[in-house]
């Protein structure tokens, strides 16, 4: 079902098969590290909902900065 959907996109989305558990090869682990060490460093929310909203906004801002996303893939040695 997912493969059929991706095939219908004519190559606009590429599939990257990752090992089941290898954090050093998983780009999202580097994105989480960036979020914790840079975007949310020294951030002290008043409650969980504030943390959720701020983390979500920071991740959305990362989407607008291709250099961050590319760095995550490069650190994972997948690009």
Asked if 27 and 72 touch (Cβ cutoff 8 Å), the reply is yes
Q: Is residue 9 part of a domain?
A: no
Domain count, the chain: 1
What are the tens digits of pLDDT across the range 40-58? Answer: 999 999 999 999 999 999 9
Q: Is residue 5 part of a domain?
A: no
Q: Is residue 49 part of a domain?
A: yes
Q: What is the pTM of this model?
A: 0.65
Q: What string of H, E and C letters represents the secondary structure of 54-71? A: HHHHHHHHHHCCHHHHHH
Q: Is residue 48 part of a domain?
A: yes
- Per the structure, the complete domain to which residue 26 belongs is given by 19-75
Residue 26: the pLDDT is 85
Q: Is residue 43 part of a domain?
A: yes
Asked if 10 and 4 touch (Cβ cutoff 8 Å), the reply is no
**Total number of residues shown for the chain:** 79
What are the tens digits of pLDDT across the range 9-42? Answer: 887 887 777 667 778 888 899 999 999 999 999 9
């Amino acid at each position: 079902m997912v493969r059929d959907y991706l095939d219908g996109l004519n190559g606009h989305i590429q599939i990257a098969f990752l090992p089941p558990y290898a954090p050093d090869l998983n780009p999202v682990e580097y994105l989480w590290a960036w979020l914790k060490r840079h975007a949310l460093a020294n951030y002290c929310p008043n409650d969980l909902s504030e943390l959720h909203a701020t983390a979500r906004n920071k991740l959305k801002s990362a989407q607008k900065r291709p250099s961050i996303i590319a760095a995550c893939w490069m650190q994972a040695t997948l690009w």
